[in-house]
Amino acid sequence: MVELRVLDRATAGDAVDAVFDGLSPRSRYLRFHAPVPRLTATMRERLADVDGRDRAALVARSGRRAIGIARLSATGGGSAELAVAVVDRWQRRGVGTRLITALGELAVRLRHTELHATVLPENLAVLSLARRAFSGVLLTAEEDAITLRYSLEPTLTHEELVAALRW
């Protein structure tokens, strides 16, 4: 059974270590956009730095072991960057979908209005995950990456818009 929890400062470092250790070199490359053979102290500190508002994260656990992390970092104007990593043994088992769906819900509670991320074009799993989890996500091809943007603001259905215009 996989459990999701909001990550706090006290346990963030251990969760970051466990997830990083469970990533293959290829998964690390796709997550960090560069070969990352080891987690430096500075990287670990940055990834574990959560305050529950501008920098928040969720951890997926199987028993006591962290198997995935999804985090958001406010970038200004209501926007927040998202990132997700799931250990290789747990990939393609719904953990990433649960993490980013829950992260979207957390972002709404924290009053963020948009999520965005930069994804390598070869990271088809994350691009597919974003399309499944965020209906209407916008993907924009850049030179060497794809930017995804997803509005968290409620949108009106056609019927709601017509009803609103009648007033």
Q: DSSP 3-state helix, strand, coil percentages of the chain (rounded to 5)?
A: 40, 30, 30
Alpha-carbon gap, residue 121 to 142, rounded angstroms: 9
* Region of residue 65 (phi > 0: left; psi between -120 and 50: alpha; otherwise: beta): beta
Average pLDDT over residues 97-123: 96
Mean of pLDDT over the chain:
92
Find the DSSP H helices in 6-51. 9-21, 25-32, 41-48
**Architecture of the domain delimited by 2-166:** 3-Layer(aba) Sandwich (3.40)
Q: Is the pLDDT of residue 48 over 90?
A: yes
Answer yes or no: pTM beyond 0.75.
yes
* Region of residue 33 (phi > 0: left; psi between -120 and 50: alpha; otherwise: beta): left
Closest CA relative to residue 102, chosen from 60, 62, 135, 73: 60
For residue 37, what are the contacts with CB-CB under 8 A and spacing of at least 6?
25, 28
Domain positions in the chain are 2-166
Lowest mean per-residue pLDDT among 4-18, 30-44, 63-77, 133-147? 133-147
pLDDT tens digits for range 84-106: 999 999 999 999 999 999 999 99
